[in-house]
Each structure stands twice: as C-alpha cells, then as structure tokens.
Amino acid sequence: MSTSTRLKHLFPLAAQIRRYDSATLRGDLAAGLTTAIMLVPQAMAYAMLAGLDPIIGLYASTLPLATYALLGTSRQLAVGPVAMVSLLVASGVSALAGDDPGTYAALAAVLALLVGGMQLGMGVLRLGFLVRFLSHPVIAGFTSAAALIIGLSQLGHLLGVKIARSHHVHEILWAALRHLGEANLVTVGISAASIAALVVLKRLAPRFPRFLLVVVGGTLAVWGLGLDQLGVAIVGDVPPGLPGLSLPRIEPTQLGALIPVALTISLVGFMESISVAKNFARVHRYEIDADQELKALGIANLVGSLSGAYPVTGGFSRTAVNDQAGARTGVASLITAGVVALTLLFFTPLFYYLPRGVLAAIIMTAVFGLVDVSGARHLWRVSRPDLGLMGLTFLATLSLGIEQGIGVGVIASLLWFVWRTSRPHVAVLGRLPGSTVYRNVARHPEAAQTPGVLALRIDAPLFFANTAFLKATLDALESEEDHPLQHVVLDAKAIGSVDAQALDALEEIFDGYQHRGVSVWLAGVRGPVRDALHEAGLVELIGEDHLVERVHQAIDATGLAPIVRLVGG
C-alpha cells in the first residue's frame, strides 16, 4: 500500500478533497455556517438535558466534530451532542454524582472516555455487526419512549419550577402537577412562545434558523425587560475560552456503574449515526465503511473526553440541515467546529441572559418528532409480532428505565427469533397443472399431490431448536395422508445449514423411514448441507441416487402419478 493510499485510508477526508474546487468550497462553507447556527443553541440545550452546564455542549461540538471530519467516511454526518445520548448520560451519571456539578462533569467525561474506547475497540476488531442485535422495532420502541421521557423531563424548565430528575414518566408528570401552582408565568409565556415559533417555522420555513431566532428573541426579551428579576431562570455566566486538555480522573469504584451505560451509548449511538450516514450516502452515491465509522466515533469521543466533553454521535436533524445547505465533504464539519470555537472564544457573554426555558423548548420540539407513530401504524399492517416487540420495548423503557428498557427489547427480540426459527414454515407441495413445477398446495389449490408421496419444503436452516418440530410435523402430515406412505421428498433449497443435532435428528428420521420401507429423496440440496450430509453418512443411508436437483425428478422416479384435483366445482 502506497503512502498516499495509506493516508487516505487513515484519513478519509484526504480522499474527499482530492478534487476539491471552488463550487465544493462554497457548498461546504454555507453548510458549515448554517449548521453552526443550529448547533450552538442545540448543543447547549442537550448539555442541559444531560444534566451538565450548557458550555459543555459547546465543548462537545468542537474537537469531537473536527476529529470525526478527518476520520469519518460520511461527508454529511454532523457529529455532536444528541438528545438520546444526553438522556443516557443523565441516567448513568446522576445517581453517582449527586448534587456536585464538578463530579457530574468529570463522570460525564469519563463516560465519553469509556464510550470512545469501546467504539474504537469494536472498530479495530470489526465488530460493527453487533448493532444488528438492535432490531428496528426495538430501536423504534426505545426511541419513542425515550423521546417522551426527554420531552417531559423539561417540564420543570418550561414552568420555571424545580422538579426532581427522574426517568419515569409518571413520576415526572406527578411532580409537575404538584408544583403547577408554583409556576412562573413569565417563564411559561417565554417557553410557550418559543415552542410555538419553533413549530410554526418548522412547518412554514424548515430551512430558516429557527433555533437561533428563539435564542436571540428570548435573550433580548430577558435583557431588555429585566425578566430575570421576575424569576426567569437564565444560563448566567458562561466561561469564555477553549477547553483545556487533560485526562479525566477515573475512580475504579465508579467504573462498574458506568460500563453498562457506556456500552448502551456505544451501541445506540453508533446505530443512530450509521443509519443517518448510510441514508445520506445512498442519496449521494458513495459508500460508508461501518468499521471506520466506529473508529472515527471512538476517537472523537476519546478526544472529547480530554477536553471535558460528554459522549457524542451523529444526529439526523443537523445532518439533514448540513446536507440541504450544501455539504459535500468533511470540510463543512471543520468549518462548523471552527465557528463553535470562535463562539467559545468571543461570544459566550451573549448567552448570559439566555432563558433556560428557551433551551427546554428547543429540546422538547426536537425530540417529540422521534415518537414513531407512523412506524407503529406500518408494523400494525405488515407485522403484528414486530409491533408487539416495539410496544414491549416502549412500555419497558417507560416503566423500568432507559438501559433496562432497551435490554428487555433486545432479549425479547432474540427470544422471538429463536421461537420463530424453532417453528419454521413448512409447505406441502403439489404439481401445477401442465408443468413440472411444484408449489405449496395451501396457496395453490389446483396443485396435484401424488398418492403415497409426501413432498414438502422446509423454509429455514435446521438446528437444535427446530428438530423436534420437524419430527412432529412429519408425523402429523403422514397421519393426514389418505394412502400408505411410500416416498418422502424433501425440497431442501431453503435449508442453508444444518448443525450436529439436526444431523442426528435427520439420521433418526431417515432410518425410521427405511425400516418401514419408505424411501427418502432430497431435492436441491445446497453445497454446504450436502457436504454435511456426506460427512454424517446420511447420503449413503438414503442412496446417492436419491439426491436430485428438482422435486419433479424425485417424484417422476417413483413411477407414481399425481391425482388432479378439480378446483371451484
């Protein structure tokens, strides 16, 4: 591998800018500035959601974003704080830190370090496939429940009252109702106006910088009218300057409590990021390297932890804005990171009078769109079991908690997969009139079966969990036959693999048929399965000539004729 090729592999941005021109620069510049305008208030809001000082959201939007721009394979992905990860950080850190802001921030940085190490390790070991265990219904149920928790967790800021942090919706709602009489009406008015503006602008002018508008409007209102003297909570002093670099202090006793949430963030964050990246890569016709994405996100989080940031990942809404504004390479993200850095250096005093209710409004309007009602309707039409998984994960997340909810969903989806594959689809086959094609008689009533022949197709690999079902199914089908069974023809095209227990079960089945004078035929056996049958001696048991390519060859060799059934009278 040449030096230039190695450089492009290590730093995908080098390949992206190989043919950089002025038109691409204009697009990246416009996208970088536009995304920064959205990112600054959003990052501060999401840091507040995570239980952190808003300034830490800006720390998480500089070095991590620039690092991903150099190392990531997506040209549009906007990396930074996101709502889901922010909520997970709050759930994992709040119980350990108590009311100490310094300890809280330090633990969030340690969490970024753990997440970065896990993602980098998974990328080096090429373990990106692990996210496949997070099925879409599980993610949809988890995301929908988390969106409700995230949105409702901002009720205290929207009302101007103090509500104890909780990850259970009923506790949040009850606390909000108990403190409703203490609500600050001025805060409620600012929050309501911000939400209305964000909702209306999203519908009427989706590309307008609505987050910037409500931030500027709310800040000017508080500053000009002295609303902070009326009890409106504001951000207050935001320390200027770029963050210093230092390794977060790690307490071994706290690692055990942080590792489960770090693993959850690593997988959920990567799942969100890779889904968004692949979506935009498909639109622009280029490839995403999943393992390189893991490495890029991992190193971004490692670098972020050194600057006091908390875990980051790619977000959909900012990526969509980045793409619509013209981003064509990672240079757009470098420009965004540069603008955030300039904000930290020169403009933090402007945030002093920013109402916390405005940041809460930004969070609430952003996350309620994550409640996947349309996805639930779609699953109702196409797959009720998947809808059940989505509903179970949704309820488990609401009632048990964030990490527990997604854990319940993953375990339930794996159990459902095992149960479903333990009862594979089995089709009894008959011959279509005027052809040598055999189809499922349940779907094709005109298909003719041959007396004395049981022809069937099994649509799944054979393994330890479905061998008992296979035996029971063969016995049940034989008992339904009107004629004495003479031949069994198994269409094996859909059997992709067999394990040792399945081979033992097949030997028992084949041997039982042979002792009763029933011959066994196998049609369309795949190469790996054929090799396994040879190794187990099953081909010798039924006879080499009983392995054929098509079902018709086997039934034709029996010399028996099908009975044509009259359909529809």
- Structural domain contains residue 569: no
**Single-letter amino acid, residue 200:** V
pLDDT digits (tens, 9 = 90+) for 215-260: 999 999 999 999 999 999 998 888 889 988 888 887 787 888 899 9
What is the DSSP track for 457-507? EE-S-B-TTTHHHHHHHHHHHHHT-SS---EEEEE-TT---B-HHHHHHHH
Q: How far apart are the C-alpha atoms of 108 and 101, rounded to whole Å? A: 11
Closest listed residue to residue 159, CA positions, set 140, 138, 148, 175: 175
Looking at 36-50, 156-170, 266-280, which range is the least confident one?
Answer: 156-170
Q: Does position 361 have pLDDT exceeding 50, yes or no?
A: yes
Task: Clarify whether residues 497 and 469 are in a common domain.
Answer: yes
Task: Clarify whether residues 390 and 432 are in a common domain.
Answer: no
DSSP state of 535: H
- Structural domain contains residue 394: yes
Task: Clarify whether residues 349 and 431 are in a common domain.
Answer: no
Task: Clarify whether residues 401 and 518 are in a common domain.
Answer: no
Mean pLDDT for 97-110 is 88
* CATH, residue 506: 3.30.750.24
- Structural domain contains residue 451: yes
Task: Clarify whether residues 338 and 437 are in a common domain.
Answer: no
Q: Please identify, among 391, 414, 437, the residue that sits at the C-terminal boundary of a domain.
A: 414
- Structural domain contains residue 563: no
Task: Clarify whether residues 430 and 292 are in a common domain.
Answer: no
**Single-letter amino acid, residue 298:** G
Mean pLDDT, the chain, whole residue set = 88
DSSP H or E run through 288: none
- Structural domain contains residue 420: no
Q: Please identify, among 414, 447, 481, the residue that sits at the C-terminal boundary of a domain.
A: 414
What is the DSSP track for 10-52? H-HHHHHTTT--HHHHHHHHHHHHHHHHHHHHHHHHHHHHTTS
Task: Clarify whether residues 333 and 460 are in a common domain.
Answer: no
Looking at 251-255, 265-269, 387-391, which range is the least confident one?
Answer: 251-255
pLDDT digits (tens, 9 = 90+) for 128-141: 777 767 778 888 88
Mean pLDDT for 301-315 is 95
Mean pLDDT for 470-484 is 89
- Structural domain contains residue 11: no
Task: Clarify whether residues 52 and 198 are in a common domain.
Answer: yes
Query: SS3 helix, strand, coil % of the chain, rounded to 5?
Result: 65, 5, 30
Give the domain extent around 468.
426-558
Q: How far apart are the C-alpha atoms of 241 and 263, rounded to whole Å? A: 32
Distances (CA, A) of 209 to 197, 205, 360: 11, 9, 17
- Structural domain contains residue 360: yes
Closest listed residue to residue 109, CA positions, set 245, 235, 289: 245
pLDDT given at position 244? 87
User: Which residues sit opposite 519 in a β-bridge?
Assistant: 487
- Structural domain contains residue 402: yes
How many other C-beta atoms are found inside a 10 Å radius of the C-beta of residue 80?
Answer: 30
pLDDT digits (tens, 9 = 90+) for 34-79: 899 889 999 999 999 898 999 999 999 999 999 999 999 999 999 9
Q: Please identify, among 379, 414, 449, the residue that sits at the C-terminal boundary of a domain.
A: 414
DSSP state of 347: I
Q: Where are the beta strands (DSSP E) in 213-370?
A: 313-315
Q: How far apart are the C-alpha atoms of 311 and 265, rounded to whole Å? A: 8
- Count of domains observed in the chain: 2
Task: Clarify whether residues 406 and 431 are in a common domain.
Answer: no
Task: Clarify whether residues 151 and 89 are in a common domain.
Answer: yes
Task: Clarify whether residues 286 and 151 are in a common domain.
Answer: yes
Degrees, nearest 5: CA angle 229-230-231 = 95
The distance between the two most distant Cα atoms of the chain, rounded to a whole number of Å, is 98
7 — pLDDT class (breaks 50, 70, 90): low
Task: Clarify whether residues 440 and 368 are in a common domain.
Answer: no
Q: How far apart are the C-alpha atoms of 87 and 83, rounded to whole Å? A: 6
Q: Does position 29 have pLDDT exceeding 90, yes or no?
A: yes
pLDDT given at position 89? 92
Q: How far apart are the C-alpha atoms of 38 and 194, rounded to whole Å? A: 15
